[in-house]
Amino acid sequence: MALLEIKDLVVGYGRYPVLHGIDFVVEEGEVCVLLGLNGAGKTTTVSTVAGLLKPTSGQVLFDGSSLGRRSPSARVKHGVSLCPEGRRVFPRLSVQQNLRLGAWSQRRHAKTVKRQLELVLDYFPRLDERADQMAGTLSGGEQQMLAVGRALMSKPRLLMIDEASLGLSPTVARTVWEAAARIARDGTTVLMVEQNAGALPFADRALIMEKGTVAHTAVGDDIRNVNLREAYLGA
């Protein structure tokens, strides 16, 4: 069943449309990778789902119902979480404090916060080793793990991760993608924005964005199909 359904979505900045009526679905429990070059409209897409941008027209359906005019914080409570591009951890707070801030929407549910914290530290043991360290002193890869972990602390049903691999070594990028695949296997649907085709082997569904449209979609084994990679590289 589709957890996220995007229908004829048009979004722009001022008078300039950036998304030209896109359609796609993300099924519950899968990893979906939204792949595209700079400026293709990937960040605009996930920002709209998170409620940070208002669409000109079209629909964002979550679990069958329109997210309509819900605020970004209401969407977090509803199970939609975004780990934004550029990590943006709180540098002067510890790893543990950063994670607890991510659980703000769950602050009245101590058991849930404890459980999510255990889960995040299990996905990213490095964060456990660094629990009391100031976030600003972490390596780039550790900060990315912290940013993903913080987004997970709200106990989302849909976790969106914008450009996790940017600026990371191939090994560290792989660690983050592997964690994303594990998070999805454990039941949290993942939508990853990427420019790096190295994320494709971790995906159950791949969407290639070009100039504000979804130019290609592949599911399952078709993702490993060379044509998809060529379509992207030729984009």
Question: Which stretches of the chain bind ligand ATP, using CB under 6 A?
Answer: 13, 18, 36, 38-44, 195
Q: Residue 51 CB, nearest distance to ligand ATP (Å)?
A: 15
Q: Which is nearer to ligand ATP, 82 or 103 (CB)?
A: 82
Residue 121, H or E segment: helix 110-123
Q: Residue 166 CB, nearest distance to ligand ATP (Å)?
A: 8
CA-nearest of 32, 31, 79, 74 to 52 is 74
Strand 213-219 to 205-210 pairing: antiparallel
Cα distance between residue 124 and residue 86, in whole Å: 19
In this structure, which amino acid lies at residue 234? G
Q: Which is nearer to ligand ATP, 14 or 187 (CB)?
A: 14
Q: Residue 83 CB, nearest distance to ligand ATP (Å)?
A: 14
Q: Residue 196 CB, nearest distance to ligand ATP (Å)?
A: 11
Q: Which is nearer to ligand ATP, 53 or 228 (CB)?
A: 53
Q: Which is nearer to ligand ATP, 160 or 180 (CB)?
A: 160
Assign residue 154 a region (left: φ > 0; alpha: ψ between -120 and 50; beta: otherwise).
alpha
The length of the chain, given as a count of residues: 235
